[in-house]
Structure 1
Amino acid sequence: MSENRLLLIVEDDTAFARTLVRSFERRGYTVLHADSQEQVSALLAQHKPRYAVVDLKLNGNASGLACVQMLHKHDEAMLIVVLTGFASIATAVEAVKLGACQYLAKPSNTDDIEAAFGHVAGVAEPELSNRSTSIKTLEWERIHEVLVEAEFNISEAARRLGMHRRTLARKLNKQQVK
């Protein structure tokens, strides 16, 4: 296995993950796929990827930022790109602080991701639009910010937000971010 071209894709959307895997394999990468933080941990026990592509929102209440943090602790030289269908300045900054080299809004293709691997300065440049921010978007950004502060502990985040844990869990389950 070519360790210098070893890529880990952390994505819970099976169809999108399969497309990324095939595309990167055609470019000469050896690709591993995980759809949860637990699978990432198991793969890191056996492999040392040089690159990683991490979805910001994983199944359930899992955040890709926790995976970014784990990957960066495993290997500080790993080039990590975060993908999201929900770009925000707060999550972009947090992703870079946790070790991502770049943050891309979906839809992003293999060319975009590979170019992001070459951009290691650690600048968060999410695509910004002229649309005004909705209340729901602001609420989601605040929830995500508090989740990060609470180290992804839902009970603690709910307490800090002043809401019941189940209410927060429902909000997280309703938010369809891929």
Structure 2
Amino acid sequence: MAGIPVAYPLLTDGLTDFSMALPPDWKLRRFKLRWFFKEALRGFLPDEILTKKKKGFGLPFGVWTIRTPALMQLVEDSLSTLAARGIVRADFIQKLMSEHLPEHPGYYGEMVWVLTMFEQWLRGPETQGEQNTGQQSSASASSLGTVLGEGKHRQEDFRWNPLPAHCALLPKND
């Protein structure tokens, strides 16, 4: 970064290894994230620091989506197509858009962004700007998951490939 050294003291190997060894209920207790670390620092740091609400540093995509009708239309189109593909549960997307995003756009906007970008990636450059129906051919995503769980199969074993043609450029896993 332009000759400016960047350090992440909370991501050192020692602290990361220690964190991974902690039981899960020490890291999340009654919906309180990083519970153990906050309790460990109680008495060393002021309570104002330990109880301070988290401030994100990402794009305010959820807020933009709610305030911008054209962006909302793009998101709704993308997520409905993604739901039709059967990759993400339709009821999850419906609840995300109808309840979670309007109530907490700063928090759930990131999930909306990730899912929207995933659908845009699946559409690929050859379909950008076109309406993608998301229809599957003879096999569904759930049956594909069943087949994948049964052991190794060749690509010819599948009648429906959930990835678009532009993904063929990715290296094969042999």
Shorter-chain TM-score: what band? Answer: under 0.3
Higher strand fraction: Structure 1 or Structure 2? Answer: 1
Bigger-Rg structure (1/2)? 2
Higher helix fraction: Structure 1 or Structure 2? Answer: 2
Per the normalisation by structure 1, the TM-score is: 0.23
Per the normalisation by structure 2, the TM-score is: 0.23
